[in-house]
Copies of this chain bind each other. A is one copy, B any other.
Amino acid sequence: MRLAVYSRFLENAKQRGVVTISSGSIAEGTGVTPAQVRKDLAYFGEFGTRGVGYNVRELNGHVLRILGLNHKWPTVLVGAGKLGSALALYEGFLARGFHIVGIFDVDTDPVGKRFGSIEVLPVSQLEEVISKYNVQIGIITVPVAAAQDVGERLAGAGIKAILNFSPKVINLPADIIVRHVDFSLHLEVLTFNLARKVESKK
């Protein structure tokens, strides 16, 4: 998503002390065409000044608000296996406002393990934690066989959006936003580009 990419670039510019920035610089720094940058930003109203550019802090504030990142998002994670453990400790989440307030497992083995300040809880306590912290986002990293059940349980407990790392498609009511992460998609972007390189050398 381009907005998320712009926001990372603006965050970085802010940290380097940049005060104003042109759409051309944003384009160059993000690999998006200047026309597309102007189109994307114009869509959200006029907050650039012709010839001066955008105020970095103000623009980033707008973009963060549109991304829904102007406040913190308590998040639960179900599945404390290898991938779940890696995500539980992933620093990038906290930096963007995602606070993991509960880690659960369907198995009893990992219960009681700690990741940072969070202890793995049995899945029976899922509803309690979701209600306590008013959680809207859930991350699923359970094995294929448990994915659909966990998805339904999260939806039933009031979760509105799910990031599903399990290789199984889960079917939930249409008002629940489900995004499926497929790691091989990332690799296919690489092979697509590698294949084009070979092609252009022929």
Given contacts A67-B195, A90-B183, A195-B67, contact A188 B82 (CB under 8 A): no
Instruction: Knowing A83-B83, A86-B82, A192-B1, say if A184 contacts B93 (CB, 8 Å).
Output: yes
Most B CB contacts (10 A, CB to CB) among A75, A93, A184 go to: A184
Say whether A160 faces chain B, with CB atoms less than 8 Å apart.
yes
A35 an interface residue at 8 Å Cβ cutoff? no
Contact flag A193-B82 (CB < 8 Å), given A93-B187, A167-B91, A167-B92: no
- Identity of the chain B residue whose Cβ is nearest the Cβ of A167 in the assembled complex: B92
The reply to whether the CB of A4 lies closer than 8 angstroms to some CB of chain B is yes
> Are A137's CB and B179's CB within 8 A?
no
Contacts of A181 in B (CB 8 A): 183, 186
- Contact residues, A65-85 vs B (CB, 8 A): 65-69, 73, 75, 81-83, 85
Is A87 an interface residue, CB under 8 A from the partner?
yes
User: Is A33 among interface residues, defined by CB-CB distance under 8 A?
Assistant: no
**Number of chain A residues whose Cβ lies closer than 8 Å to a Cβ of chain B:** 52
Q: Which residues of B contact A136 (CB under 8 A)?
A: 194
Partner of A193, one of B177, B183, B191, B192: B177
Q: Which residues of B contact A96 (CB under 8 A)?
A: 184, 187-188
Please determine whether A86 and B81 come into contact, CB atoms closer than 8 angstroms: yes
